[in-house]
Amino acid sequence: MSIAAYPDTWRRPPFIASATWRWAIYLGALAYLVVAAGAVDINWARLAEGVARAGRLFVGFLSPNFTARWSDIALGMEESLTMTVTSTVVGILVSLPVGVGAARNLAPLPVYLVCRAIVALSRSFQEVIVAILFVAMVGFGPLAGFLTLSFATVGFMAKLLAEDIEDIDPAQAEAIRSTGASWLQLVNYAVLPQVMPRLIGLCLYRVDINFRESAVVGIVGAGGIGATLNTALDRYEYDSAAAILIIIIVIVMAAEYASSFVRKGIG
Amino acid sequence: MPTARAADGASAWRRTTRAQDLLRWFAWLLLAALFVFSWNVMTKDTIWAFVRDAPAQAADIGGRMMPPRWSYIVQLSRPLWDTLSIATLGTLLAILLAVPVAFLAARNTTPSVMFVRPVALLIIVATRSINSLIWALLLVTVLGPGVLAGIIAIGLRSIGFVGKLLYEAIEEIDHAQVEAVVATGAAPAQVIDYAIVPQILPAFAGISVFRWDINIRESSVVGLVGAGGIGLNLEASLNTLAWSQVSLILLAILGTVLFSEWVSAKVRHAII
Amino acid sequence: MLRIEGLVKRYRTGDIALDGVDLVVPAGEVVGLIGPSGAGKSTLIRCVNRLVEPTAGTIHLGELDVTALSRRDLRRARRRMGMIFQEFALVERLTVMENVLSGRLGYVAFWRSFLRRFSAADVRGAFATLDRVGLLDHVDKRADALSGGQRQRVGIARALLQGPDLLLIDEPTASLDPKTSRQIMRLITELCAERQLAAVVNIHDVALAQLFLKRIVGLRAGVLVYDGPSEGLTPEVLTRIYGEEDWTRTHGDADADDDAARATGPRPELIRAV
């Protein structure tokens, strides 16, 4: 065959084979974007005003003021940190039975359904919404934040734990079961050793998340550094707000570094 | 005596040494002490009378929530649409900004490990550590209340998330494929297009959809600080103690979240 | 075509991979490069197109001093050197055609390659090359849907589409079964003869090398210890390259089982047969 006989164009086969569907999806996506972008009403006058505020915010960040509101900041940090510790511990303790119950290969159906419902409920709502409800029940303060973060931790940990348990090697469970072990012995000898390493990693990760969330539940009155930040911004004290944000970033970075350190030590 | 020897044998069989055991118990003790201490500090100002009253409060609120004020749904359609838009446009914004940051942060694509990479990593950590609600708080003071602040808040928070997962994916690619394309004499941009992008595309799609799913939840609350979406209605209903509207809003959020979970599961399935 | 003089490569760890290698390969000649693992075969090949930067020495491609080139000129020089890899190194998630066309990347502007709009001549060339290696039916398949032998054919087509003067071939058959290995080696030697290409084939299967290649170069610990016809690989020479081993013992039929040859080293009856 001479070279001229070969085709001189080539197109990559499209990702979506049917041309109708392809164009429908492209046009649909484009139309959605246009409509959605149309929902953004920009108030140019307010925006112009905002430029000045952005400038002051920026200046505030260049010269953070840790001292002016130090007692407020210290109280907020104290609440955030204690909230993180207590809610992580309680949340993980509660998530263990719920997680085992939400694993289809270990739990009977009624228990499974109840535990899955708890997980789904906890995961569907953003922490702040849960915090609003707890504040309404137990009043303002870090206790509401603690309850919120514990509840969120249960949903997070139980779901991942249940998935891990469902993924365990059935051969090992079979082997233990064939020795005539009881259900608790089965969990202890066949399930725990398989899920433990990842579980520890997840716990550390959750500490990290709980601290970050503890910084926002304060916005709705559930204690923590978020309340201090909200107040600082309301009073236009951008230098104090900057100080708070810097403290949050530093603590999150330190937590991340520490947890990677611990994980290496375990792994 | 055989039994004594058996007992000896058993103790020699322990999984850990005595020193390790001690250390482990000490660590647990430390954790317990930390917990008790934290609990005491945290609850020093708690008014326990309120807490004891909580079940009654919960029952009271629950009673007022039921039945939801169904007619209110008409006023919720626009905020729900805004909530979806905030999540989607915010995610798109984040992707647009996170992709270059990820390439600058990945060890194998960054132009300079010494200078550029630390800056990119700092951007990733800083945007990740600040919650979208705090971003919204800052942006509302700058831009004024509205959907725009919400979009940018969600976008900024997601840069770190998308950037981190994406740069990890870039660092894990198969280097042989890159080497082969480099060996053809391709320019750096062509190497990225032909050797790196095809390898990270599935991870990229998965990460984007995952973050969109999370952002639906986040965008339902940015309204609490004025950044648009259904959170605005939640705030207003809470302020007027209109609990029957609050329950309807919560149901609407639940529906949206379930919808987004269904969509993202479908999309992930289509990719893999 | 290729002239290597005094090539030295010292890695940052201090390991000396190449210690003063001299090698000349004229156009149209295929040289087999043999030697134990860690002798520096891979490093030598990668120094030629500077995927690995040489520490000292010069490499000339025709009149061009490859070691003295700037980044941009190096990319131009790389177009003239096609490379074929052990694990094929295809971009798994791209189609066969995209993989082959990536051989033209050095010639094409970014936007054209980005839109996959290659020139008519390039596309025709890609089809012709795919036809030559027997893959015309697989053009639109993704590379990860192919068998090992088919993937290596794509790798060969990609290198050919560069329009190279020199092929650098790194263990082309190490991931293939014995029969496919022979087919691939035959294809490579035929193509080099057809197009008068110089080639350096890095290969650990001595029997296979002797079967297809006339000239063999032996590398040991970064030093060339043999350069001559494949008939000259006597047990003494093999000992010089690989170290002490009973090179005269025979067992089994080499044609039936090349894998055994990998495990036990080359067999003399083959050495004499070629």
Set of chain A residues whose Cβ sits within 8 Å of the Cβ of C124: 3-4, 6-8
Residue B144 to residue A43, Cβ atoms within 8 A: yes
Q: Mapping DSSP to helix (H, G, I), strand (E, B) and coil, where does residue A77 land? A: helix
Q: How far apart are CA A13 and CA A7, in angstroms?
A: 16
Alpha carbon C234 to chain centroid, angstroms: 24
DSSP letters for A161-204 = HHHHHHTS-HHHHHHHHHTT--HHHHIIIIIHHHHHHHHHHHHH
The pLDDT tens digits of the residues spanning C205-253 come to 888 998 899 999 999 888 898 898 988 888 888 888 888 777 776 544 4
pLDDT at position B269 over 80: no
Please give the interface size between A and C, counted as residue pairs whose CB atoms are below 8 Å apart: 36
Look up the pTM and report it: 0.81
pLDDT category at C33 given cuts 50, 70, 90 is: very high
Per the structure, the count of domains in chain A is 2
Architecture of the structural domain at B76-271: Orthogonal Bundle (1.10)
Buried b (16+ CB within 10 A) or exposed e, A111-129: bbeebbebbbebbbbbbbb
Minimum mean pLDDT range among C97-106, C150-159, C263-272: C263-272
pLDDT value, residue A209: 86
How high does pLDDT run on average in chain A? 83
**Looking at the domain assignment, is residue A251 inside a domain?**
yes
pLDDT at position C127 over 60: yes
**Looking at the domain assignment, is residue A6 inside a domain?**
no
Regarding whether A154 and A120 lie in a shared domain, the answer is yes
pLDDT category at B233 given cuts 50, 70, 90 is: confident
* Ordered alpha helix ranges (H), C59-119: 71-79, 96-101, 110-114
Question: Checking DSSP bridges between strand C198-202 and strand C166-170, what pairing results, if any?
Answer: parallel
Tell me the average pLDDT across C110-117.
89
The pLDDT tens digits of the residues spanning B72-131 come to 888 888 888 889 889 999 999 999 999 999 999 988 888 888 889 999 988 888 888 888
Of C152, C215, C148, the residue nearest C188 (C-alpha):
C152
pLDDT value, residue C257: 44
Regarding whether A125 and A33 lie in a shared domain, the answer is no
**Minimal Cα distance from A242: which residue of B?**
B138
Q: How far apart are CA B160 and CA B176, in angstroms?
A: 29
Set of chain A residues whose Cβ sits within 8 Å of the Cβ of C140: 12-13
* Distance (Å) from the alpha carbon of C163 to chain A's nearest alpha carbon: 15
Regarding whether A46 and A163 lie in a shared domain, the answer is no
pLDDT value, residue B146: 84
Residue A39 to residue B147, Cβ atoms within 8 A: yes
Minimum mean pLDDT range among A151-165, A172-186, B178-192, B193-207: A172-186
Cβ–Cβ contact A211 with B under 8 A: no
pLDDT category at C274 given cuts 50, 70, 90 is: very low
Regarding whether A131 and A182 lie in a shared domain, the answer is yes
pLDDT value, residue C254: 43
Regarding whether A88 and A35 lie in a shared domain, the answer is no
pLDDT at position C31 over 90: yes
The CATH number of the domain where A81 resides is what?
Answer: 1.10.3720.10
pLDDT value, residue B12: 57
**Looking at the domain assignment, is residue A83 inside a domain?**
yes
Which residues touch B245 (CB under 8 Å, ≥6 apart)? B68, B69, B72, B233, B237
Nearest to A6 among C98, C101, C124 (CB): C124
**Looking at the domain assignment, is residue A9 inside a domain?**
no
Set of chain B residues whose Cβ sits within 8 Å of the Cβ of A42: 146, 148
The pLDDT tens digits of the residues spanning C35-88 come to 888 888 889 999 998 998 899 899 999 888 988 888 889 999 999 999 999 888
Regarding whether A77 and A52 lie in a shared domain, the answer is no
Q: How far apart are CA C239 and CA C246, in angstroms?
A: 9
**Looking at the domain assignment, is residue A14 inside a domain?**
no
pLDDT at position B7 over 80: no
**Looking at the domain assignment, is residue A12 inside a domain?**
no
- Show the domain range for A36: 19-58
pLDDT category at C189 given cuts 50, 70, 90 is: very high
Regarding whether A175 and A43 lie in a shared domain, the answer is no
Regarding whether A137 and A27 lie in a shared domain, the answer is no
The pLDDT tens digits of the residues spanning C207-220 come to 899 889 999 999 98
Cβ–Cβ contact C120 with A under 8 A: yes
**Minimal Cα distance from A53: which residue of B?**
B142
Nearest to C106 among B180, B185, B199 (CB): B185
How high does pLDDT run on average in chain C? 85
The residue ranges of every structural domain in chain B are: 1-43, 76-271
Regarding whether A218 and A193 lie in a shared domain, the answer is yes
Nearest to A12 among C116, C120, C121 (CB): C116
pLDDT value, residue C255: 43
Q: Which residues sit opposite C227 in a β-bridge?
A: C217
pLDDT value, residue B100: 94
Q: Where are the beta strands (DSSP E) in chain C?
A: 2-10, 16-25, 30-34, 56-61, 64-65, 81-84, 166-170, 198-202, 215-220, 223-229
Buried b (16+ CB within 10 A) or exposed e, B211-245: bbbbbbbbbbbbbbbbbbbbbbbbbebbeeebbeb
* Distance (Å) from the alpha carbon of B203 to chain C's nearest alpha carbon: 13
Who wins on pLDDT, A251 or C101? C101
Mean pLDDT by groups of 10 residues along chain A of 267 residues: 76 81 89 84 77 81 81 86 91 89 83 89 86 86 90 90 80 76 77 77 84 86 84 84 86 80 67
Regarding whether A94 and A186 lie in a shared domain, the answer is yes
**Minimal Cα distance from B81: which residue of A?**
A36
Regarding whether A218 and A140 lie in a shared domain, the answer is yes
Regarding whether A106 and A24 lie in a shared domain, the answer is no
